[in-house]
């Protein structure tokens, strides 16, 4: 039987529509990944005030945890100027700033190497993403850049990547690290997500499908 993969403790903070996801592993190594919003159609006054709030939040977090801010080529200089040197800023193209849904889901495999020593192996699941509905009721007509976000993050962190075909936003599932997954019919069973899959098939995909070697679930709770 493959080793059980434990989800890290994930804390999600939304500041207006800034999306901040903290991946806090049991080993104590913390990593923050944040996307810098720039869409004028989502924010008033050309996003200026929202970005100032974002910079303050990222700066405050950086006093306690390592922080990585992702910004497009057009916004990289702006992000670098507003943030302290302790915050890592990397260039990343995107359609929207919702990392919780378009970014990867990190899993942790914990094993004992010797008495008192624990080895943590981290990997990233790259779910399929269609901008919350695709051509039918989706937020945007083009989400091609967001499709690459998870792959890029996993590459930056130099972690193993497990790509998936099922459409699943990271925020549509919550797990306890003990084999239980909480989700909603509105997301995973929506006709604009996975119309070819039934509830049973989705459960099978998550429990015993292609994720078996890295992600083991014993119970699915649907809302």
**Predicted local confidence at residue 31, as pLDDT:** 54
40: exposed, middle or buried (C-beta count within 10 Å: 0-12, 13-18, 19+)? Answer: exposed
Secondary structure of residue 50 in the 3-state scheme: helix
Residues 90-111 have pLDDT tens digits of: 999 888 877 888 988 887 776 6
How far apart, in whole angstroms, are the C-alpha atoms of residue 206 and residue 173?
Answer: 11
What per-residue string of b and e applies to 100-138 under the rule 16 or more CB within 10 Å gives b? bbbbbbbbbbbeeeeeeeeeeebbbbbbebbbbbbeeee
Residues 15-28 have pLDDT tens digits of: 222 344 444 444 44
Phi first, then psi, for residue 20 (nearest 5°) are -125, 125
**Predicted local confidence at residue 144, as pLDDT:** 93
CB–CB of 164/210 below 8 Å? yes
Residues 162-172 have pLDDT tens digits of: 888 899 998 89
């Amino acid at each position: 039987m493959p080793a059980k993969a434990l989800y890290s403790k994930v804390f999600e903070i939304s500041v207006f529509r800034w999306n901040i996801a903290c991946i806090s592993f049991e080993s104590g190594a913390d990593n923050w990944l944040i996307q810098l919003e720039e869409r004028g159609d989502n924010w008033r006054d050309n996003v200026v005030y929202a970005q100032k709030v974002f910079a303050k939040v990222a700066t405050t977090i950086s006093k306690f945890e390592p922080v990585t801010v992702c910004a497009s080529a057009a916004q990289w200089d702006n992000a670098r100027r507003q943030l302290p040197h302790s915050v890592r800023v990397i260039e990343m193209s995107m359609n929207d700033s919702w990392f919780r849904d378009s970014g990867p889901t990190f899993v942790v495999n914990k094993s004992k190497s010797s008495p008192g020593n624990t080895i943590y192996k981290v990997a990233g699941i790259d779910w399929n993403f269609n901008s919350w509905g695709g051509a039918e009721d989706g937020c945007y007509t083009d989400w091609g850049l967001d499709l690459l976000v998870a792959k890029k993050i996993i590459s930056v962190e130099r972690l193993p990547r497990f790509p998936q075909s099922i459409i699943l936003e990271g925020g549509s599932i919550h797990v306890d690290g003990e084999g239980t997954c909480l989700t909603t019919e509105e997301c995973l069973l929506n006709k604009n997500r996975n119309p070819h899959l039934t509830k049973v098939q989705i459960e099978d995909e998550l429990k015993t499908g292609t994720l078996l070697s890295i992600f083991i679930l014993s119970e699915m709770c649907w809302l």
